[in-house]
Amino acid sequence: MTEDRCRSCDALIIWAETVIDRQRIPLDETPVPGGRFKLDDTYNPPRADYVKTGDPPGSRFRSHLATCKKKGET
């Protein structure tokens, strides 16, 4: 996975592409319970898809756009 740092808050992030339209999306590096995205890291960059009811358990991630403490300050 491609790790990077947020330009605004310097937090570690993972760059992924959305499954539907392949848009790049920054995700928080650390998985959390209740995260909205699951990753398929068989692709490079990994593909992010929304978690759906009935999906098997696994690591879930949050969008860094939703959690950045300094969003928009650069």
Condensed to tens digits (0 to 9), the pLDDT of residues 3-52 reads 799 999 999 999 999 999 999 999 999 999 989 999 998 998 899 999 99
Q: If pLDDT is split at 50, 70 and 90, which confidence band does 69 have?
A: confident
Give the strand pairing for 47-50 and 12-18. parallel
Asked whether residue 72 carries a pLDDT value surpassing 70, the answer given is no
The model's pTM is 0.84
According to the model, what pLDDT value does residue 70 have?
A: 80
CA distances from 57 to 2, 38, 40 (A): 23, 10, 13
